[in-house]
Structure formats: structure tokens, C-alpha cells
Structure 1
Amino acid sequence: MDALATSSEQDQLAPLSAEDALRPENFFNRELSLLEFNRRVLAQARDGRVPLLERLKYLCISCSNLDEFFEVRVAGLQQKLSAGAPTGGPDNMSAGDLLSAISERAHELVAEQYRVLNEVLIPLLAEQGIRFVRRRQFTANPRMDDWLREYFNNELLPILSPIGLDPAHPFPRVLNKSLNFIVSLEGKDAFGRSATMAVVQAPRALPRLIQIAPEACDGRTNDFVFLSSVIHAYVADLFPGMRVTGCYQFRVTRNSDLFVDEEEVDDLLIALEGELMGRQFGDAVRLEVAHNCPEAMIKYLLRVHGLREEQLYQVDGPVNLNRLMKLSEKVDRPDLCFEPFTPRVPAHLTSSSDIFSAIRKTEVLLHHPYESFAPVLDFLRQAAKDPKVLAIKQTLYRTGADSAVVEALLQAARAGKEVTVVIELRARFDEAENIDLAERLQEAGAHVVYGVVGHKTHAKMILVVRREANGLRNYVHMGTGNYHPRTSRLYTDYGLLTADPAIGRDIHRVFLQLTSLGKLAQLEKLLHSPFTLHKGMIERVEREIDNARAGKAARIILKMNQLVERDSIAALYRASQAGVKIDLIVRGMTCVRPGMPGLSENIRLISVVGRFLEHTRVFYFENAGQPEVWCSSADWMERNFFRRVEIGFPLDDRRIRERVIRELKIYIADETQAWEGQPDGSYVRVRAQQGRRKIRAAQRRLMLAKR
């Protein structure tokens, strides 16, 4: 079958076979899709409707995202290229071709990041009295020059350690993403040695943005200078008796993925601690240098790091824009930030001091950050203090260093309750923090386990076992996001508090599976990766196909972060061909090609990028007028379906289910922060219909609705 057949031919097309649906040309590449998401984030930095300091934050986020993209995805592709292994994507693009395509698009993205900084944001900030002072400006101003030279001598010089490059001092192995300078020299040092080059490494403890004292800049309070500019201006003081002929900043991005063969280690915690020490010195994958660095010096840096020219990124500005995130903390300008927003607490929870009684009366669905995370903390804190509570079991993936969640668990363990915590030590970039949490909990007397060998524990669930008049009762919290109070104010997520006996039994069985070696009994209500979640979702898609062919009501709405698993996408293609209307709300990476005649013309794909990071995973199936709504900790990815422990839970309460359906439709109708996916993998911003008065920004509408 020709997947690009015209719509007029559609009625004559045979039903899409499983083989046809899986043809590589029907899928967009997931890595390139992730770069497209980063374009949408960067577009927020250009959007004049967004407060100015928030626009700067979006620029920083786009840079941070790109760092992780190179550290993990590009690094993994380079390893596959070296090994001659396939990329594993449903589009079947080779590692070499994909790396070339990534290089082209990433260079365009980086160029746009610095254009936005230099041509848009810096001038707008200057109009608001927030200035970034250039090197040529402060060196030409005696008072400012004196102040910064004194700052350099007192705060920087004592801790900088220049390394001259000669046979006794080979090129140092610089830390991942650290700020460094390569310096060209003339003359001889105190020992009579001729030196031509040196490397200066800026310790990470140093602030990358320095606020100049008002007395040095005519009373202005918001003048800043980049650390790189200060070091560049006074670097000659590090090389007395020699002449500095050039100084250029550079930064190396390295492979930061950890590898631990869980089948071969006796203690995962100890093995990970050992691996973490080497994360800063993985293989180089990218070199960033100042735009004016001489070609000979660039070639030298590429050679010493084993990189090719396409892995070079020359930038007009600081090599690490992420550090500009700190500016909003240093500048007291609330008028340039998002307006303050206080999440609300549902009325039926504020009216009762006993959260267990409130949950028994009715299930509670919390939509963060529009609704507060406080009830989840109250649930744990009351459980820790309540003498009727016998046991608490919880999964932890990301929690934060100073977590109120962990404090409640520690309190419960010290009170003698049976506390079991399943900590995922391999949560990428949070490994060190999770190792520390595991040790603290063990010291308090909690039972700590690290999940299942070969499967990350990504499920978000709490089980509280309480003795009541009629025997033991289970209280459960399940969520789509992490138990992290800070990110609960930044990420959108759903969390369900319930005393449903069947769900309580299911969660108990899942915890038994995680902590013991036995087989899991069949679950009553929940779906569960790596066993039934994928199959359960595919079955529900197939049911919509059957309903559509039988003339019954059929529709699918899926909201998630990533959608790349090929069999799921193939099922959605078959549903589209059967006439099922499908709305996909996918924040980030997806391999779906929507709107392709004869294949996916009934699929609409949007991505919503706004003040909050969209993180909910919600799956709606019309089911011939008897709708089902599921929430999950899992995206539709191969890893979530087959290599992680995840749960999917139904919203059985009609009131809650209808509320979530209404909220999904608010997202579908967004005409302010939504981007619509195209068949070629690009996105076009959705524009509001002319003359419309009603607010069509999903996040804004939900903020107003929850007040």
C-alpha cells in the first residue's frame, strides 16, 4: 500500500496491515523529534507575550536540554556507530546518517540561541536597566576596571591553577561541561622554559555571572559581567614575565550515561558510586569554543579530544548559557517574571483534619501545580504520626535533596512503623542524591530496596496500611509524576488518593513483586509494566477500531511526554484508517507522522509548551459511549512498556473521569501555547481564530479554574 495515497483514494484502500503500518517511512526519527521540541522551547524566548526574565529562562532551558541531548543521546549514537550497531529506531535511519542530520540541526539551533541572546534579550534587558557589561566596556572605565581587577585578585586569582602545556604537563582532562580557557603565550618562564600554550580551568564553585558593585558603575544596581570576560581581561596576571597573545574559552561535553552490569555486581549502590566518579570524564562528544578562536587552536582542541569538525560549535558569547538562569535570583524585578500563583487545596480536604476520613468518603484527584502537593505531604505526615498506621510502602525516583517526603518516611521509621522504600538508584543525573537518600533511610531503620535487576522502577505509588474497626484498610496514592515538592509547582501531573480495596490489593501485590522474588498474582484493576500495560493499551486501541467499523462512537485522546513505541503507533495508524478520531497531546519526542492521507489523516498531533512543563500521562478511550480514562507513570516508549516497572490506573469515579476529559479538551482547544505537528516532523504554532474573545491558553484557563 502507498502510505502517501491521496484522500480521494482512501475509500478504495484495503485495511492497513500490520506489516504496512511498520514501514520505516511511516515514522519520524525520535532524536530529530527531540531537537524539534527544543526549537519550541527556544521559541518561548522569542515570544513577546512571555515576561522578559522568563524568556531568558527558556533560553537557558533550551541550552540545558541540548547539553543532556549530547551527553546521552548523541553519545549513545556515537557508541552505536563505532560498534556498527543499528540505532533501534522504527525509522531505520543509520547512526551515521542520523549523526549528520543531528549536527546540521543542532548547529542551526545553537546559532539561533546566541542570536536570540545577543540581538533580542540583551538589548531588551538593557532597556530595563539590566546590563551585561562587555570586556571592552569595563576595561575602558577606570572605576569599573579597578573594581573588577580587585575582584579578580581577591576572588579568582587565589583559586585558579593555569597549566602550561609541555611534555611534563600534557593537556589536562577537563571536566564535563566545565568552563576552560586555552591561552597562547610568548616568552620564557622562571625556569627558562619556552611556553606557547596553557589551559586555565574555572572551578565550578565560581559564579559565572558577577554583579558589579553600584559604586563602580555610577550607582546602577543591575550591571553584570560574565566570569569568562573577567578571566579573559586579567588572564595575563596568571603568567608573570610572559606575554599573553590570545585567550579563548572552551567547553567539552562528554558521555554521561552510566553503565553497570547488574547481573555481575553484588551491591548496586556501591557499583553506582564507583561509576559516578568517572561520569565527568567520559568520551568527548562536543566542543564549544569562542567564535574568535584561531583555526589552528581549534584544530588542536579537536585533536586532543578526538573530535571531528562537525562536532565543533563556535559561539558568540559565554559557552554555558545555562548559568544565566541565576540572573532572575539576582535581580529584584517581579514585573519581569510570571505573576505569583498559589496552588489551591480542594475544599473537601481543607474542611477535614483527618485525611484518611476524607479519602474514605471520596477519591481525591489532584492536578498539580494547579492544585497543591500539600495533601500528598499531609497523607504521609499523618501516616507517620498515626498510631493506627502499621506500614508505609513507597517508590522514590526523584525527590530532591531536602525532601519533605523523605522526612516523613524517616519520622515513620523512627516511630517504629514498618517502612519500605523502593529507591531507583539509576534515575539519570539523580544517582548521587538517591544513593544518599537510601543511606539515610537505612540508618533510620527503613527497609530499602533498589527495585528489579534489569528494570528501572519508575512507578509512582504509596501504600499506607492502617488498622481500623473492620480490620486492615489500604490507602493508596498513585501519580504520573515524581514525589518532588519543588517540581510539583513546575510540572503538570495528576495524583489520585484512594481507598478502593481492589486498587489497594493491586498496589500491595506490586510492592511484593518489587521486594521479593515471587511471581506477581494477576492484578484486579491496574495495568502493569513490563507485563500488561502495553498489551492493555493496544487492546483498547483495537476496541476503538472495532467500534468505529461497527458504526459506534470511537475516539482516542492520549496525553504524554513521549510517544515513540512503534507497535503502539502502528495501532494508532490502523485506528486512523478505520475512522477513529485521534488527538495526541505529546509534549516532546514522537515518531508519529500525523495527517498522512491513507495512513494518519484522522490523527491530530499537538505539543503544548508554556509556563509549566507538561508531564501528565492520560489515556482516553471513547468505548462506544462508556468512556475509559487511564493515568500512568509511563510514556508510550519501549523502555516504559518493557524495561521499567510502571503502573496504569483507571479513573473509575465518574465525577473525576468527566473532569479529566474536560481538561483534556481544554488542551486540544489551545490556541496560544499549542504547536501542531506536521507529516515531516516539523511543528507550526496554532493561531487563535480572529475575533475570538475567550481565553484559549490551556494552562492559563486551568490556573483560573483552580483558584
Structure 2
Amino acid sequence: MDTDSPLCDPAPATPGYAAGDDLRDPALYLNRELSQLDFNTRVLAQAQDPRVPLLERLRFLCISCTNLDEFFEIRAAAVRHAADFGLPAAPDGIAPAQLLDAIHGRAAGLVQAQYECWNQVVRPALAQAGVRILGRHSWSARQSRWLRAYFRHNVMPVLSPLGLDPSHPFPRILNKSLNVVVVLEGMDAFGRPGHLAIVRAPRSLNRIVELPPSLRGKDEQAFVLLSSMLSAFVGELFPGMTVRGAFQFRVTRNSELVVDEDEVENLASALRSELVGRGYRPAVRLEIAHDCPKPIVRTLLQNFELGENAVYYIDGPVNLNRVIQVYDLVQRPELKYPPFTPRNRLEGENVFEAVGRGDVLLHHPFDSFASVLDLLNQAATDPEVLAIKQTLYRTGKESAIVDALVLAARNGKDVTVVIELRARFDEDANLGVADRLQEAGVQVVYGVVGFKTHAKMLLIVRREGRRLRRYVHLGTGNYHSGTARAYTDLGLITADADIGNDVHLLFQQLSGLAPSIRLKRLLQSPFTLHSGILARIARESQLAASGRPGRIVAKMNALNEPQVIRALYQASQAGVSIDLVVRGACTLRPGVPGISDNIRVRSIVGRFLEHSRVYWFGNDGKPELYCASADWLERNLLRRVETCFPVLAPGLVERVRREALRNYLADNLNAWELGADGRYRPCAPAEGEVPYSAQQALLDAL
């Protein structure tokens, strides 16, 4: 790949400024929640980009909707909680109540852009390509008859409409479920006057239905959303009454599980109890059809205890993210990204012999996750392997990793797994994984009370002659075959004795009673990673202040830790040249004169989700390079168990720097640069400059 771009070299440093500048000034910090919404705008831009294959544009649109759901379930819910309890503002100085209004304004614009993209861009383009998503007003008479029959036979028997009256109070509405509020006129069989009714669509119903070939054009596929059928045929549920209006709505609820770990005897049991009620926790957002009468909107808001800054009017299906099913149902390769075959760096090899010869670096998805599976599968069947220890954060219900661990236990290996039950939205899957592992004889540990275990570690102890040797895999991403194909991540397989001993000590700490340990190679949250980052930033500052080059390049998912940000500001003032590739939320404000002139921040949004964390420090010509499971967020550095590991082999150091840092600093097609005003602007090739995509360059190198 060509990385000879000016962006790869340090920008000219500006003179240092006085250390007395107030680096806690709220004006120097962007708001994390608003920055997260900005990231979702960049995701939506992929759906609006005509260079992206059409079905991939649909996928990006749906991802932006799913991201927004999670934002309200977690981030906006936390802000609402802070407002209700009068908690203080974040470093940006925006009070929680004020922030809720700002979130509504920013999110409302994003929602409008999503539905404009759907109604005016993606849906018409799909229709032109022969993939039709048919609204109720575009059905032919034959299609309408077929859909009515489908509704009567496959939908109606599952529905339980509820008329609202004193004996039928407002029903409990499940988080993110599809519902219809119906305005009725007339009398029912008991002589009760019609007014309002609620129809809930159980999740057992298909959200999208494909029409048979006889009801669509040649070489076409046609789909109808369940929401359209409900709106069209809801009158079937109220015979003898007149439907004056039917309006889709959906409520989003706070989905953060709250378990007082100090008060529970069994975390797994407590989580199971919490999961039962998660879908009915306090509401944070109401989505409603744009033409719904105001009195009905007020009724819904009153029922959900929400204000006007929590309602979003939708011109289309309220559950637009469900259209993602079309991506899998339509087998049109020309409308998708071209397939690729990742490298398997250990294919056909004895993994232990290969790693014994030298460290192996994996850059997913360009390097196959099969190498990690090969390592674990060979360990599970190798008679010389005595023990396997692994952390699991997200791995999926059907996991080849879990299969290998079960096999290892059944083959007599001593297997210990530290599984994080509290991995958000994967709690239920992780409970199932824990049960399966325990049934196979695996020792399952649930981590440390009060600290999520987010580290990605695998340790294999193998007898080799008269000694025991440790083989280690450390990564920036989860042990999940699916995300390893969709996310960029880095992994290191090594037999380095010091790293192996560090990982051994970490597992002892996690499975024992957390003794104090001293690590030789690794940095660890919540103990040494935060201070280690601050120390390395300070070292670069001292180098620059003494007239030597100071240089920091780091890639991560998000950045908001105030002490780290202040240290970066001080480094910039000292003349350190700093490049940050931050995919998502970033609360550092770059380019502020006298404060952050020497800091540049860019975000890459492309085919793959950028997920690797890499920290590079110039160190006066003796560079240090680390990969980590941790972003530079408060939670990762101070409230989680994380690992940060060095890449030691010079050839691998250069490879990581080339592929994961310089490469992304050279991108001028999928990059966005953050300005001092807090706005992201898309990069474009300068006149005479060759268009360059970092992800495509890595694909082209396969």
C-alpha cells in the first residue's frame, strides 16, 4: 500500500505556550453524547454515498438506526437519570437538563435525515434495481388480497388488541416493540363506545414478508413490512367498528442493568432476574407516526412519563432498522461489497512450532480469525497442553471458541474461563455460555465485583520436555468469529516469557482475591494503564520542551478521559505533534490556538467497523508501540479490567505502524477531520492527489 502521504509525517510544531493556561475550561471539551450522535451522522453518510454498493447503503442506514436505539437506551438514559437526580455537569459544562434538549435537537435532525435517506434515496434506488419494499398505497388488488389472507392466517391469531377504558388500562409496552394506536368509532358487542385501542406486535411475528413470484415483476423481489400490514388491516380486529386512524409507535427504554454486586450472593441469578424486567424499565424516547393527532401523542407521552423533548415524529416505519433483513434475503452480489478471502497466517502449521519461531501478528479481518481458532483447537487436543485460561466478553451463542473450550475440558485439560456476564446486551447469551461451560467441567469465574472484565486474553500452558511454556493470545477485539469478519482488530500470539508470566499473574488476580501484582510488560486497568499513558505523554512533552522531537499517534474508538485530554493539551503546548484516529465520540477539541494547535483528530468510517486500539510514542527515536482492549475513556481506564500489551518484534512494530496508523492517516476517502469548532468535515483528495482508502488498501494487499 502507498502511505507516502504528508499526513504520515509530523505537522510543523507551533511554539509552546505557558503552562498556566486553564486546561479545565469547559470550552476546551466537547460533549460526549453530542459527539456520539455526530458519529452516527458519519455512519448515515455511508448510506448517502453513491460510491457505496446499494444494499450496503441500506445496511448502513439500518446500522445508524440501531446505533441510535442503543444511544437512547444507554447514553440518553444516563443523562435523563443525571437530570432527575441533579448530578453535576461533565467537563464540557453542559448541565444534564440542558443536555437533554440539545440531544433532542441533534437527534431529531438525524432522524429526519435517516427517513429522507430512506424515502428519497435508498428505497427508490432499490426499486429501480428490482428490489421493492411496497407501502400499503402501492399494492395492486392481487397483492392486497394475498396480504389480507396472509394477515388473517399468520398475523391475526397472534394479536391481542386492547381497547382502552377504565377496566382496560394502558398495557405494558415492551422496549422497542412495534405497536399501533387505533382510533375507533362505533359500538362493540357489549355496547361500549369505541375510542382508542392498542395493538401490540409480538416479536414472534416476521417483521418483513416477501411476496411470492406470481405477485411481483420478472427479475424482481418485493417485500412488505409488518407495520404496513397492521396499518392496512387493523380493522379486521374490530369488526362492526370504524377505524378512523391507525398510527405506529415505538417506545425506547433505559436498558442499563443495575445490579448491586455487593448485595447479591449470586451474580448470575441476580442478572437473570434483572433481564426479565429490562424491557419495561423507564422510557426515554417515543417514536410516533408523523401524522398522529396531537391529543394522542400527549396521551402516550403522559403514559410513558415523557416530555416533549422525548418525542420523534417518523415519516415511515418506526422500526426502520428491521429492513436490514432485506440485505440477507436479496442475493445480488453486484449490490454488495465484493467478497474477499482473508489470509490464514497459520494455515496447515503446528501453531506451537510456528509461534515458537517468532511472534505472530493478526490484523482482522484481513487476517483470518481461523488462526485463533487453530491455536485453541490444537491446544484442546494436544496431549502436552495442561491448562487453558481465557477471558470472554462477547462471543455469541453459537461459538467455535466455546466448542473448543468444551472439547479441551472433556479431554482432561484444566480450563478456566473468566466470563463477563455484564457485557451490555449480551448478558443473556453470556449466561447461556457460562452454563454450557460449567456443564462441561470448565471452571467459570465471573470477574471482579465492580469492574467489568473487558480484557482479551488467552493463555495456554504446554509441557515441552522438562519445562512448561506459556503461549498467549492478546487482542483488541472480542473472541467472536462474526465481529472478526466485520471489525478491524489486532491480535498478538506470542511465547514471550515475560508476557506469558504477566498474563499468568492477571488470571491469578481475576480468579483469586485480587492480590497486588507487578507486571513487567503489560499495562493494566484499573491499576497501571491510566498512569502509564499519562507518563508516556509527559515524556513526549519533556522531549519537545528540550528541543527534541515529540510524537504521539494513537488509534481508538472513543476519547473522553479528562486527565488524558489535559495531558495531550500540555503536550501540544510543549510542541509535541499528535495525531489521533478516533472512530466515535471524542471530547478533545483540536486546533485551539495556544492549546491544541498540534493535535489533529480524524475519524474513519468505512466498510469495516474500526475497532483496534493502538498507541505509538516516539520516545526520542526508540519508539514504543502498544495495542490494547481499552479506549481512552474514563470507564476503560478507571473502572474496567483491561490489558495493554507491547508489540516487541521490530518487524511487527513497523507492520502495525504501517497498516494501523500511517495507513489511516493517509486516507482521503473515508476520513473525517474534527475542527476546533467541534464539527467533522469529510476529507477529499486534494487537486492532483490520488484517492486513497485505508481499508481498501489493506484488502488490495491480500
TM superposition score normalised by structure 2: 0.97
Equivalence for 1:31: 33
Question: Deviation of residue 690 (structure 1)?
Answer: 2.1
Equivalence for 2:686: 689
Q: Is the 8 A contact 1:510 1:520 kept in 2?
A: no
Give the letter for the 2:157 counterpart: P
Q: Is the 8 A contact 1:166 1:195 kept in 2?
A: no
Q: Deviations over 1:16-68 (max 9, x none)?
A: 55xx2222211111111001100100000110100001001111111101100
Q: Is the 8 A contact 1:181 1:247 kept in 2?
A: yes
Q: Is the 8 A contact 1:398 1:434 kept in 2?
A: yes
Q: Using the alignment, how far apart are the partners of 2:545 and 2:366 within structure 1?
A: 39
Q: Using the alignment, how far apart are the partners of 2:631 and 2:360 within structure 1?
A: 23
> Does 2:633 align with 1:631?
no
Q: 1:43 aligns with which of 31, 42, 45?
A: 45
> Does 2:120 align with 1:124?
no
Give the letter for the 1:545 counterpart: S
- Match runs of 1:222-261 below 5 Å: 222-261=221-260
Question: Deviation of residue 221 (structure 1)?
Answer: 3.7
SS of corresponding position for 1:70: helix
- Match runs of 1:232-311 below 5 Å: 232-311=231-310
Question: Deviation of residue 214 (structure 1)?
Answer: 2.0
Q: Deviations over 1:291-340 (max 9, x none)?
A: 11111111111111111112111111000111011111111211000000
Q: Using the alignment, how far apart are the partners of 1:633 and 1:223 within structure 2?
A: 43
- Match runs of 1:273-352 below 5 Å: 273-346=272-345, 349-350=346-347
Q: Using the alignment, how far apart are the partners of 2:514 and 2:98 within structure 1?
A: 45
Equivalence for 2:10: none
Equivalence for 2:9: none
SS of corresponding position for 1:277: helix
Change (3 A) 1:406 1:11: closer
> Does 2:672 align with 1:675?
yes
Q: Using the alignment, how far apart are the partners of 2:20 and 2:416 within structure 1?
A: 48
Q: 1:22 aligns with which of 16, 21, 24?
A: 24
CA RMSD of aligned residues (A): 1.4
Q: 1:526 aligns with which of 515, 519, 522?
A: 522
Q: Is the 8 A contact 2:15 2:574 kept in 1?
A: no
Give the letter for the 1:49 counterpart: R
Deviates more, 1:225-234 or 1:628-637: 225-234
> Does 2:514 align with 1:515?
no
Q: Is the 8 A contact 2:343 2:368 kept in 1?
A: yes
Equivalence for 1:5: none
Q: Using the alignment, how far apart are the partners of 2:16 and 2:477 within structure 1?
A: 44
Question: Deviation of residue 12 (structure 1)?
Answer: 8.0
Equivalence for 1:607: 603
SS of corresponding position for 1:281: coil
Equivalence for 1:506: 502
Q: Deviations over 1:574-609 (max 9, x none)?
A: 111111110000000111100111000100100000
Equivalence for 2:210: 211
Q: Using the alignment, how far apart are the partners of 1:74 and 1:11 within structure 2?
A: 40
> Does 2:108 align with 1:107?
yes
Q: Using the alignment, how far apart are the partners of 1:510 and 1:543 within structure 2?
A: 27
Give the letter for the 1:274 counterpart: S
Give the letter for the 1:86 counterpart: P
Q: 2:582 aligns with which of 568, 581, 586?
A: 586
Question: Deviation of residue 444 (structure 1)?
Answer: 0.5
Equivalence for 1:360: 356
Q: Using the alignment, how far apart are the partners of 2:452 and 2:216 within structure 1?
A: 53
Q: Using the alignment, how far apart are the partners of 1:132 and 1:649 within structure 2?
A: 48
Give the letter for the 1:513 counterpart: Q
Equivalence for 2:430: 434
Give the letter for the 1:160 counterpart: L
Q: Deviations over 1:481-520 (max 9, x none)?
A: 0000010000000000000000110000000000001413
Q: Is the 8 A contact 1:634 1:647 kept in 2?
A: yes
SS of corresponding position for 2:279: helix
Change (3 A) 1:281 1:105: same
Give the letter for the 1:286 counterpart: R
Q: Using the alignment, how far apart are the partners of 1:518 and 1:156 within structure 2?
A: 54
Give the letter for the 2:100 counterpart: L
Q: Using the alignment, how far apart are the partners of 1:326 and 1:637 within structure 2?
A: 34
> Does 2:484 align with 1:480?
no
Change (3 A) 1:163 1:619: same
Q: Using the alignment, how far apart are the partners of 2:626 and 2:321 within structure 1?
A: 36
Q: Kindly report structure 1 stretches of 4+ aligned residues shifted beyond 3 Å.
A: 9-13, 217-221
Q: Using the alignment, how far apart are the partners of 1:442 and 1:284 within structure 2?
A: 36
SS of corresponding position for 1:193: coil
Give the letter for the 2:146 counterpart: W
Q: Is the 8 A contact 1:16 1:574 kept in 2?
A: no
Q: Is the 8 A contact 1:368 1:492 kept in 2?
A: yes
SS of corresponding position for 1:86: coil
Q: Is the 8 A contact 1:420 1:446 kept in 2?
A: yes
Equivalence for 1:62: 64
Q: Is the 8 A contact 1:461 1:476 kept in 2?
A: yes
Change (3 A) 1:11 1:380: closer
Deviates more, 1:626-635 or 1:518-527: 518-527
Equivalence for 1:171: 170
Give the letter for the 1:292 counterpart: D
Q: Is the 8 A contact 1:576 1:601 kept in 2?
A: yes
Number of equivalenced pairs: 690
- Match runs of 1:529-568 below 5 Å: 529-568=525-564
- Match runs of 1:641-656 below 5 Å: 641-656=637-652
Q: Is the 8 A contact 1:181 1:201 kept in 2?
A: yes
Change (3 A) 1:408 1:127: same
Change (3 A) 1:602 1:11: closer
Give the letter for the 1:71 counterpart: E
Q: Is the 8 A contact 1:143 1:217 kept in 2?
A: no
Identity fraction in percent: 55
Q: Deviations over 1:555-591 (max 9, x none)?
A: 1001000111000010001111111110000000111
Equivalence for 1:454: 450
Q: Is the 8 A contact 1:581 1:603 kept in 2?
A: yes
Equivalence for 1:640: 636
Q: Is the 8 A contact 2:558 2:632 kept in 1?
A: yes
Equivalence for 1:6: none
Equivalence for 1:134: 135
Give the letter for the 1:150 counterpart: A
Question: Deviation of residue 10 (structure 1)?
Answer: 7.1
Q: Using the alignment, how far apart are the partners of 2:193 and 2:226 within structure 1?
A: 29
Q: Deviations over 1:323-378 (max 9, x none)?
A: 011111111211000000111122xx23x531001001010000000110001000
